[in-house]
Chain A
Amino acid sequence: EAGVAQSPRYKIIEKRQSVAFWCNPISGHATLYWYQQILGQGPKLLIQFQNNGVVDDSQLPKDRFSAERLKGVDSTLKIQPAKLEDSAVYLCASSLTGTGMRETQYFGPGTRLLVL
Chain B
Amino acid sequence: QKEVEQNSGPLSVPEGAIASLNCTYSDRGSQSFFWYRQYSGKSPELIMFIYSNGDKEDGRFTAQLNKASQYVSLLIRDSQPSDSATYLCAVNIRDYKLSFGAGTTVTVRA
Q: Which residues of A contact B (CB under 8 A)?
A: 40-45, 48, 55-56, 91, 98-110
Contact = CB atoms under 8 A, between A and B. Distances in A.
Contacts, number: 50
B71 interface: no
Nearest to A55: B95
Residue of A42, A56, A101, A106 with most partner-chain B CB within 10 A: A42
Contacts of B90: 42
B60 interface: no
Contacts of A107: 43-45
Given A40-B102, A41-B102, A42-B102, A110 B92 contact: no
Contact of B43 (A42, A104, A108): A108
Contact of B96 (A40, A91, A99): A99
Interface string B23-63: 00000000110100000001111100101000000000000
Interface residues of B, number: 23
Contacts of A56: 95, 97
Contacts of A91: 43-44
B49 A102 contact: yes
Given A56-B95, A98-B96, A104 B49 contact: yes
A98 B49 CA distance: 16
Which 6 pairs show the lowest CB-CB distances between chains A and B? A42-B100, A107-B43, A101-B32, A101-B31, A43-B100, A42-B102
